[in-house]
A = this chain, B = another copy of it.
Amino acid sequence: MTETRDDVYRSRVSEKCEIAERQDPTARASTDGPLDGSEIESFATDGFLVKEQLLGASEVRSLVKEAERIRRNARDVEAAGVVKEPGGETVRSIFRVHRNEVFKTLACQEPRVVDPIRQLLDSDVYIHQSRVNFKPAFDGKEFYWHSDFETWHVEDGMPRMRAISVAINLTESNEFNGPLMVIPRSHLKYVRCAGATPEDHYKDSLRKQEYGVPSRDALEELTREERIRAAKGPPGSALFFECNVMHGSAGNLSPFPRIGLFIVYNSVENRLVEPFGGIRPRPVFLAEREVMPV
């Protein structure tokens, strides 16, 4: 990677945050898949799609049980894929859960999860990242607004916007426990963030962000004509969202813990190259570099 490489999604190269236009189609959807025309249209327009009941209650119970089990095992170790709360020992995220047998089956083989993604991206896909997020009751911390793609492009070398995440609520997500919030239509713009990216930045950024942060002006612009939407719903509800959707979540002051499963799929035609930020690639638990189609 050199500074001269032509990069339509350059970011963190200026002192000023700027809003640019998206350079990729918002949906390449084929007709071959479970989503109907209006769902595809809705995803292309808003950048996300809500599925009120993607998984059933008993499926979710098994996943919660496994998530709790690996959290207990993770608590006392400083494993690479385990991220703790800022200033605490509480486990906030466990990454690369698609290497776990229980989550792997869901992430790699479950048609309700994989087929909509394949359809929307109109290609085979592989798992770029997966994680379980735990937002503890009473002091679950906020996660500030960001576009995943901005980070994946600058820090991991994802070339184009051709990835989709599915966020599955493993517990009820309500207005009080810091639900995932998205800004509709924000995926149509690209916010070039200010500043540079230090090496090994990820070690802190997963706890608290300082780089790749959109300016307040940019966020005000993105929300000027859009109402924020929260991914509220019962256990098993899910949100499919495009990799460039601006999203975040508030803290959790409520007595209700929140557990969310995130699986990110990238098109096999969009495999990672050298990071565009000129840094060395982040560890594979954050960005798989091996393409294994699901």
Chain A residues close to B by CB (< 8 Å): 137-138, 142, 144-145, 175-176, 178, 181, 216, 219-220, 223, 228, 230, 248-255
Interface SS of chain A? loop
Give the one of A216, A228, A230, A249 with max B CB within 10 A: A228
A258 to chain B minimum Cβ distance, whole angstroms, is 13
**Which among B138, B250, B253 is the interface contact of A253 at CB below 8 angstroms?**
B250
Contact A176-B253, Cβ < 8 Å, known A138-B219, A216-B137: no
Chain B residue numbers with a CB within 8 Å of A144 are: 253
Contact (Cβ within 8 A) B255 A219 = yes
A89 to chain B minimum Cβ distance, whole angstroms, is 16
A230 to B253, CA, bound (A): 12
Chain B residue numbers with a CB within 8 Å of A176 are: 181, 228, 230, 250
24 intermolecular pairs with C-beta atoms under 8 Å apart? A137-B216, A138-B219, A142-B251, A142-B253, A144-B253, A145-B253, A175-B175, A175-B230, A176-B181, A176-B228, A176-B230, A176-B250, A178-B250, A181-B253, A181-B254, A219-B255, A220-B255, A223-B254, A223-B255, A228-B254, A248-B253, A249-B253, A250-B252, A251-B251
